[in-house]
Amino acid sequence: KGSAREVVETCGITFSILSTPEASRAVFEGEDGTLAGVSDGKFIIDCATLAESDMKRMEGQVNDKGGQFLEAPVSGSKGPAHGGSLIFLCAGSESIYKDTIVQSGLDAMGKATHFFGEEVGHGTRAKLVVNSLMGTMMAAFSESLSLAQSVGLDGSKMLEVIGQGAVQSPMYALKGPKMLKGDHSPNFPLQHAHKDMKLAVDMAKEAGVEYAVTEGAEELFREAREDADLNVAEEDFSAVFKSICKKS
């Protein structure tokens, strides 16, 4: 099909995922965009990580045209997407969520699906909690590796030690060796990780929740993203390590 509108007009169920709120809105609200194709009975499932207000706006627009809306942001990056092992964090129309065809699609793309209720926004909240924790873990891991190397410890040996203790993590085991080699080939681009962390920090402020550790990590990612000399915005989010090492 030549446009998002044509896809939605042709299909009863449409899954969508785009990288940023700006890209999502452009495709959703464009002249030949997703919304233009919505009519009675259409199911729209948006899997992007956006602000809660974005998801609520899209839900209202879809409902106004007779369609139904489910938010389903995903936990997982390129590898899980290729392997069909994403985790879907859903909220919105329960009839969409329980639809057998929708469930078969979610099962094909993911290893787990969670439903957070019929209020759109709760899936996004869950995703921002997960991604802000992941970014904070990466920032702390990067600082620890930088410190280890700066005081004369062997980075590979420290990865072995970390992997044997209570702080072991699949993310550390996967990313650590690549980080020491300077390999930051993108699975989850740093600029997108920072976008999610900023959204989470804003959510915490609105909720009146203490989030100082994550705020510090978000600042590290922002500095890395904006460093024109490093130019790591499109590299993997592990490239925050390069920024931390540069300042050390």
CB 55 within 8 A of CB 86: no
Annotated active-site residue in 56, 127, 195, 242? 127
Asked if 21 and 3 touch (Cβ cutoff 8 Å), the reply is no
Does the annotation count 127 as an active-site position? yes
* Token couple for 37: 């194709």
Structure-token match 């990580």, residue found: 49
**Whole-number Å distance between alpha carbons of 126 and 203:** 11
Q: Please count the helices (runs of H) and the strands (runs of E) in the chain.
A: 12, 6
Secondary structure of the chain: what % helix, strand, coil (to 5)? 60, 10, 30
Give me the active site residues, please: 127
